Amino acid sequence: MIGWKKDKKWSDAFIPEIKQILGLYLIGEPPVEEDQERNTDLMVLKMDAVRVGCRIRKNSYLNMYGGEFTIRAGRPSGVKTELTKVIEGWGDYFFYGFCNAEESALCSWFLGDLKVFRLFLMRSFAKKATPWKNKNNTDNSSSFMAFETSSLPKEFIIATGKN
């Protein structure tokens, strides 16, 4: 659990910036009637909970792995990983990005639709296809499935940004 806490503390530093970005895509302007009749200037685009998984990678990985999307598939402790949770149906979106060299801000990111990813993954499993590479952290604290973003359905990536 120490590895998870350390990873979480590091990535949580980017939460304020991620929230600002997500606001651009999950909050919208309503039709004029909403403003005129219901005192509404902005609308959250969905009424129920919207769950967003987030993964931020260090800048040193950007040049080599900038075209990849990785999802944690295993931990030696056996705790549930992002992959297990996604397969179970959890999560609506996935925010994936790289921080700058100073680790003070994001420099590249995308927002992905997990419904699209789930369907792609299930179809791959059904066809016994493996459009991913299995990878381990250098310290063996986690294993991942790495996908080339170009191999994922075009509907998966909703938005991208670079600073």
Domain positions in the chain: 48-162
Within a 10 A sphere around the Cβ of 1, how many other Cβ atoms?
8
| pLDDT at residue 47 greater than cutoff 80 | no
Rounded CA separation 158/146 (Å): 19
Token representation of residue 80 = 């549930």
Q: What percent of the chain has pLDDT over 90?
A: 65
Check if the beta carbon of residue 107 is closer than 8 Å to that of residue 100: yes
Name the pTM for this structure: 0.84
| pLDDT at residue 56 greater than cutoff 80 | yes
Rounded CA separation 159/163 (Å): 14
pLDDT of residue 2: 58
Helix/strand/coil (H, E, C) string of 12-53?
HCCHHHHHHHHHHHHEECCCHHHHHHHCCCCEECCCCCCCEE
